[in-house]
Amino acid sequence: MHTVEAARGRGIGRAMLDHLLAVARGRGYRRVSLETGAMAEFAPARALYVNAGFVPTEPFGDYRESRNSVYLTLAL
């Protein structure tokens, strides 16, 4: 997800995340996992995900360990 700078701070990212998690729950998914950047500019995104209950996890799917990536997961 990406929120353009002019729209940041209005809760748009959280609204998008909440909507996507509701869709996942409605479809019966039991877990949602994501990859985001490890660099400082991704700190707000990481904070959003952690605030929503995501916890660190190992790389998943075709991802491999990378110093540039953070992997998070949420049990639904």
- For the chain, give every domain's residue range: 5-75
4 pLDDT band, cuts 50/70/90, is confident
Entry pTM: 0.90
Query: Rounded to whole angstroms, how far apart are CA atoms 26 and 55?
Result: 21
Q: Is the pLDDT of residue 1 over 90?
A: no
The CATH superfamily label for domain 5-75 reads Gcn5-related N-acetyltransferase (GNAT) (3.40.630.30)
pLDDT of res. 24: 98
What's the pLDDT tens digit per position in 13-54? Answer: 999 999 999 999 999 999 999 999 999 999 999 999 999 999
Give every CB contact of residue 71 below 8 A, 6+ residues apart in sequence.
33, 34, 35, 56, 57, 58, 59, 60, 63
